[in-house]
Structure 1
């Protein structure tokens, strides 16, 4: 019988199973909501600017509450936070549905509700990632991270497609209630988690803001974590322009019609998600260190996105995007495993909070700045810049592997 590490882990580890179920339902709900809220916002505002304000409110809350969610994760009961945040998300979406049905939902109330939903969703993923080291052994970390990471790919593939079908057949209010139900199911899955308790170091209780700053201080002062964050931030800056460049690339470089552009963009989204799923599926079979996995992953991203400079056929574009997608499965698993292995449990929530705060800052900067540069330089020049940054990230990752091996060898030769 074929032994698939992810399925084996799900079958034998109750906590990973329920974490997977909860994350998968949450991801599917996110996929449905991401499509529904655009349709809802545009239907109310009838403008791109108004729709952008609603979406920006969600993104802003991610930046503002990322670190605070990490502090809450380290301070309070993580299981209750998972359940409470899911229930809060459900309540917010139900409120949207009720206001929409009554005809009283406007751009102001939708913006506020979108902000609140973004704040509530900040708790689920960082807490699950912080709990994984309690659920598995150190040798199982990479497989566990890959298993949970698969929910992102599956949700990204199925969620928007489900939303399109639901919106075509059902009123918006019913779709929103289905989305709210997904959050209720996620809270139910979280209630089945059995979280092993560990002894925590007694420390003086300080303000939430002070503890959030401690998370940034720990990242900066811990060499391996600091290096990991630098590499990750550089790769995020490299990737963030992609979806901004895509319409420009298809229009000005491939000269596709508007109708064909929509079809190709859909294929690219699906190919990227399928590639990511493949990366998560194979990573458990690769016997490399986490930094080598990062180096290989960023090299694949450089190849995948870099080849877009030279190809002009749609199938080749979709193929190279698939190659780039594989890398996200490799780098995602390696990043989380490295972070979890080098961070004490009582700081892990705050460190994840720092990660989501920094990501929430870099992504919009990269997207807005790349749009201006792309208009002046063209998409292919920007793809060249992305490729260069990915190559730097890959080289830095391989260098960390070499540095770690050198340090290990020096320690082995210390006099007794």
Structure 2
């Protein structure tokens, strides 16, 4: 009964837009969970190296750097519902074409990397838009619960999807797995059509060009000390986390010594353990009574313990437990980051500020994945896990400084609310 009467369930039952956003995101994330296992297994089967897998994964992330800020401008300047529907449809079409290449026997390292880059570009017009729409759906005091509810779709999708994907890869061809993900995007299109958003509610005023609009997002982050500190903490944690999915197949192959089929299955269960922990984090964050900096300190410390412990483990069940523990922190920090950013940023700039976030991730993620991929081929994956733990600890220490920056951030936010952009 407590589950039924949770703040998340109450919000979804009482808010039409949040319900349809939740449904669309949930179906889309289920498909993404299946795809995430398929793309790693496929890339590694083609290259048989961490560097090759890193190239494929990095190609997706590089597009974040190129299109992140541009997508934020479109999110602030156009109708967000239209942008959400179109981007979901394009993503589905790209996955269908990827499945066709697989069927024709032309899905190789180059074609897989190119399509991953294009898919990453299309998704950039999806993620910032969804995050920027949440403050349009709920009251400010409901932001933490709303972000937790949307975050749960990611957790549920990756809880079920990867494990299912690992099993599907052992019994069916890759193109059928890809088509399942494509269908999830098309369902997201249908859910997006039910959202009720005034056409001009989110559009910024003023006649400026694309470059000036994109720069405005960076400018706001730079002059708001609190938001800038949020980005620094988030970036440091992302740098620490970015090698994980590149190291995972190498770790299971060369350190844990699993067969190819065992690797695919365990990767799926590791994804699910991470997602289950994340779900727990998103669920409990609405009940925790902590300051923003405390959320980040706690989550970074948990990540350091969870990922750092992989350097000394040899049993698959212990690996799953540590990943579950680390996953809890992602739910806590993810909801805290989005709530703080949405609270400190005017809505007519929110798409661009989220675009800055994806641009930064577009630099950090491919850099971390590519470098760690080559390093794992030389030094082994266990040493990289030790380094990941150290970076997470540094992020936890940096989060403590948010307490001193809060007052300045509040002043800057009040000042910027008076500026007509």
TM-score (norm 2): 0.83
Alignment of 1:166-315 (within 5 A): 166=168, 173-195=175-197, 198=201, 202-203=205-206, 205-246=207-248, 256-258=257-259, 264-309=266-311, 312-315=314-317
**Aligned partners of 1:96 and 1:105 also within 8 Å:** no
Which structure's relative contact order is higher, taking Cα pairs within 8 Å and 6+ residues apart? 2
1:90 to 89, 92, 102: 92
Aligned partners of 2:302, 2:227: CA distance in 1, in Å? 23
* Deviates most, 380-389 or 309-318: 309-318
Aligned partners of 2:264, 2:385: CA distance in 1, in Å? 20
Alignment of 1:145-160 (within 5 A): 145-160=147-162
Q: Give the equivalent residue in structure 2 for 1:366.
A: 368
Aligned partners of 1:46, 1:170: CA distance in 2, in Å? 21
Q: For 1:309-331, what per-residue CA distance to the aligned partner results, in whole angstroms no more than 9, with x for missing partners?
A: 55555443332222111001000
Q: For 1:375-395, what per-residue CA distance to the aligned partner results, in whole angstroms no more than 9, with x for missing partners?
A: 665545433332222222112
Matched, 1:384 2:391: no
* Deviation of the 1:68 alpha carbon: 1.0
Aligned partners of 2:324, 2:284: CA distance in 1, in Å? 14
1:62 to 61, 64, 69: 64
Give the direction of change, closer, same or farther, for the CA distance of 1:38–1:406 in structure 2 (3 Å limit): closer
* Deviation of the 1:5 alpha carbon: 1.6
* Deviation of the 1:34 alpha carbon: 3.6
1:11 to 10, 13, 18: 13
Aligned partners of 1:333, 1:297: CA distance in 2, in Å? 11
Q: Give the equivalent residue in structure 1 for 2:144.
A: 142
Aligned partners of 1:112, 1:86: CA distance in 2, in Å? 19
Q: Secondary structure at the match of 1:145?
A: helix
Q: Secondary structure at the match of 2:196?
A: coil
TM-score (norm 1): 0.84
**Aligned partners of 2:37 and 2:267 also within 8 Å:** no
Q: For 1:11-67, what per-residue CA distance to the aligned partner results, in whole angstroms no more than 9, with x for missing partners?
A: 111111111111111112223334455677789x78878877665543332331111
* Deviation of the 1:9 alpha carbon: 1.3
Give the direction of change, closer, same or farther, for the CA distance of 1:111–1:324 in structure 2 (3 Å limit): closer
Matched, 1:331 2:329: no
**Aligned partners of 2:238 and 2:364 also within 8 Å:** yes
Aligned partners of 1:109, 1:314: CA distance in 2, in Å? 33
Q: For 1:208-231, what per-residue CA distance to the aligned partner results, in whole angstroms no more than 9, with x for missing partners?
A: 122212212221221111110011
Give the direction of change, closer, same or farther, for the CA distance of 1:241–1:341 in structure 2 (3 Å limit): same
* Deviation of the 1:79 alpha carbon: 0.3
Q: Which runs of 5+ in 2 are unaligned?
A: 411-421
Alignment of 1:111-150 (within 5 A): 112-150=114-152
Aligned partners of 2:380, 2:202: CA distance in 1, in Å? 55
* Deviates most, 57-66 or 282-291: 57-66
* Deviation of the 1:407 alpha carbon: 9.5
Q: For 1:83-120, what per-residue CA distance to the aligned partner results, in whole angstroms no more than 9, with x for missing partners?
A: 1111222233334455665x385656665544332221
Question: CA RMSD for the aligned pairs?
Answer: 3.3
Residues paired across the two proteins, number: 404
Q: Which runs of 5+ in 1 are unaligned?
A: 409-416
1:31 to 18, 27, 33: 33
State which structure, 1 or 2, has the greater radius of gyration over its C-alpha atoms.
Answer: 1
Aligned partners of 1:31, 1:199: CA distance in 2, in Å? 31
**Aligned partners of 2:22 and 2:149 also within 8 Å:** yes
Q: Secondary structure at the match of 2:406?
A: helix
Give the direction of change, closer, same or farther, for the CA distance of 1:300–1:351 in structure 2 (3 Å limit): same
